[in-house]
Amino acid sequence: MSEHRYDEELRSERQYVDGLYTRLDAERARVRGRYTAALRGDGGSPMEREFEVRALAKEAKGLDIADNGLCFGRLDAVTGEHSYIGRIGLFDEANDFEPLLLDWRAPAARPFYVATAASPENTRRRRQFHSRGRRVIGFTDEVLGRPEAGDSGDAALLAAVAAPRGPGMRDIVATIQAEQDEIIRLDHPGVLVIEGGPGTGKTVVALHRVAYLLYTQRERMERQGVLIVGPNPAFLQHISHVLPSLGETNVVFTTTGGLLPGLEVTAEDAPEAARVKGSTEILTVLAAAIADRQRLPAEPIVIELADVPVRIDAALTEWARAEARATGRPHNQARATFLEVLTWALTERAIGRIGNGWLSRSDRAAWEQVRTDLLAELAETPAFTAAIDELWPVLTPETLLGQLYSSPERLAAAGADPVLGRADGAAWTVSDVPLLDELIDLLGPHEPVDRTAEKEAKAQAAYAAAVLENMVSREDMMDDEDHLFATDMLFAEDLADRFVERDTRELAERAAADRDWTYRHIVVDEAQELSAMDWRVLMRRCPGKSFTIVGDLAQRRAAAGATSWDAMLDPYVPGRWVYRPLSVNYRTPAEIMAVAAAVLAEFAPEVRPPESVRACGVAPWSRAVTTAELPAAIAEFEHAEAQREGTSVVIGPPGVPGTIPASETKGLEYDAVLVVDPERIILDGPRGAAELYVALTRATQRLGVLHEGPLPGVLRGLTEIGTAVSTRS
């Protein structure tokens, strides 16, 4: 295309995109006007206005977000027609709602992502815009269906992947590739596993898939929302802007340590303890630990009543325990049966002794009166209450698990591995969260909590009844005998409901605070790290079994993590999950990937490394330093990177000042990475080589390695230097 023609077309495109922004501004003004009216209370019931306010607030937020890169491309069909592609859909209401801008998720926009020279999808040309703010500053064309088209279509992609990284992950809505688009739009309602090596874009593909599902199944998805589980808080912060940038907000972000509301855990167990807790064999231990708290008295417990003492012996307790267990109810709820059987037996014995010689069963009234008196006396006798609490205590998950860990005797009684023992039983780790969650169901609700809610409801009803009574007393003063009283139209409970404050929190807030909330869809990133017990928690959270699972088995570091996807998923969705690989590395340049591939070949020779789409022209380097020189070398690297645009990180083994462990960088990416003491990283646990592989593949531009001892042989692809770090390009 000649320069003159390019300039003419650029002016034309700018004019069209300016018109789209004018249309966007008008739509935004319309929505904000309706929002203001709804806040004022114009029309409709309070509940209807509340729903309208929420819907309009979400719509306004989506329009605001779309302002950033509203239109990013154009498709020219072989018929001569063309359409524009953007973040949202815009229509010309004055012209029979003709599309002005296609939403990137719409079926008609799909050729923008999948058309190739070999398979042009009836497309003649694909144009990608380059924008700064609202202004189109240029475009790149790819002519399809012709041999001379060349590789010009890769320009936008290569520019995006080579650009300096900011503080968070960016969406790829303008540069989605064909293999990624196929996964994003995959029509599979169940479990989808996306596996790919470092830099293949599996995380961002999963997030765009969520946006696509929310677009195509909005009514079903929005009612329950989406849960996204990531490996660490830094990763969640890194990805947190992607879905909002695509207009989606009904999403809860958490780590496995935050799956239980009210508990945020980051501490990790030693590998062996984590392995034991992560296996489903721990379920047998939990059941045995609960059974161990349903005790028989070593010696008879004597309860002194006013007229006669009664004894709780082992035989009677064993009978009551058997009856309670036979109900199949959770521990705390089965306690009612235990108490009922024990109370019945004790009162029968006591009545027989009290009424000996004067009371017969034929005298039902007298018999029942004595029973009622005994029941009341037992309920008020501290010794009886203490006995019940000792033999069948009310337990919380925290109490049971904490006392189990801190007691070698209880661990032995439950058949638990001694490795679980620790002095502070309540020093929770990430591996404890699924156990605590499991115990909520095994133990059942804590009775006093339920009574509190019941008391609050009764108090509200009592208050409402008093209001009604006051209204009736005023009506009694009226002369008209035919008027309707308030009690003719309302019950106290109905009026009480009006005093209950409505939950106005957003769906994501309500879901995150509710352990029993069930999600329509769950995304699990770095899924290879999750244990079998973690999966039990997630499957409970999603009864519909709709998951997007993202991971790379080669990067697994967790002792209880997945060794194969079928072993982890077949217990829940046998034969009902699909697998899609990603093979192209968009993050890591070829020079760095060659070094990382050598490490991969050492610990996972059967795994093929992803193929990088680009080279950066900068060779990864290594430098030998002494222990005394190490802090200055790290500071030198940080100073050099501070002069450049982008992000950087220093990764090292535990305990090295100025570094973070590779586990905290999982899923993240940086322009420059400095790896410190790789030999110690390799030796730090059975998955040390996988940790080093993770560390090496975080870089998008520059990689350096500092080593105190000999450089590990797997890093022979590095260029050894002796000059200052800051001199490296």
Nearby residues of 18 by Cβ (< 8 Å), 6 or more positions away: 134
CA 428/CA 709 separation, integer angstroms? 37
CA angle 207, 211, 215 (to 5 degrees): 165
Which tokens belong to 633? 């070398």
In this structure, are strands 135-143 and 301-304 parallel, antiparallel, or unpaired? unpaired
pLDDT per residue over 438-489, tens digit each?
999 999 997 554 445 555 555 555 655 555 555 544 444 445 444 444 444 4
Nearby residues of 509 by Cβ (< 8 Å), 6 or more positions away: none
Q: Report DSSP state, residue 104.
A: T
Entry pTM: 0.77
pLDDT value at residue 251? 87
Nearby residues of 154 by Cβ (< 8 Å), 6 or more positions away: 613
Strand order of the β-sheet with 670-676 is: 648-651, 670-676, 699-707, 621-624, 719-721
CA 101/CA 551 separation, integer angstroms? 35
Strand order of the β-sheet with 123-132 is: 90-92, 98-103, 82-86, 71-77, 123-132, 135-143
Q: What CA–CA distances, in Å, run from 578 to 89, 126, 202?
A: 31, 31, 15
In this structure, are strands 301-304 and 670-676 parallel, antiparallel, or unpaired? unpaired
Phi-psi group of 697: left, alpha or beta (phi > 0 → left; psi -120 to 50 → alpha; rest → beta): alpha
pLDDT band for position 655 (cuts 50, 70, 90): confident
568, 468 contact by CB (below 8 A):
no
CA 38/CA 56 separation, integer angstroms? 9
pLDDT per residue over 8-26, tens digit each?
999 999 999 999 999 999 9
Q: Report DSSP state, residue 723.
A: S
Which of 608, 611, 613, 612 has the alpha carbon at shortest distance from 554?
608
pLDDT per residue over 348-405, tens digit each?
888 777 756 555 666 667 667 777 888 888 888 999 999 999 999 999 999 999 999 9
Nearby residues of 507 by Cβ (< 8 Å), 6 or more positions away: 222, 225, 250
pLDDT value at residue 158? 53
pLDDT per residue over 564-618, tens digit each?
999 999 999 998 999 999 988 888 899 999 999 999 998 889 888 988 888 888 9
Count H helices and E strands in the chain, helices first: 28, 21
pLDDT per residue over 318-347, tens digit each?
999 999 999 999 999 999 999 999 998 998
3-state per-residue secondary structure call for 193-225: EEEECCCCCHHHHHHHHHHHHHHHCHHHHHHHC
Burial class (CB in 10 A: 0-12, 13-18, 19+), 254: middle
Most confident of 104-113, 207-216, 428-437: 428-437
CA 278/CA 20 separation, integer angstroms? 53
Amino acid type, 611: E
User: What is the chain's Cα-based Rg?
Assistant: 33
CA 225/CA 246 separation, integer angstroms? 15
Q: What CA–CA distances, in Å, run from 530 to 280, 552, 556, 616?
A: 12, 12, 9, 34
Q: How many residues does the chain have?
A: 729
The SS3 call for residue 611 is strand
Q: Report DSSP state, residue 563.
A: S
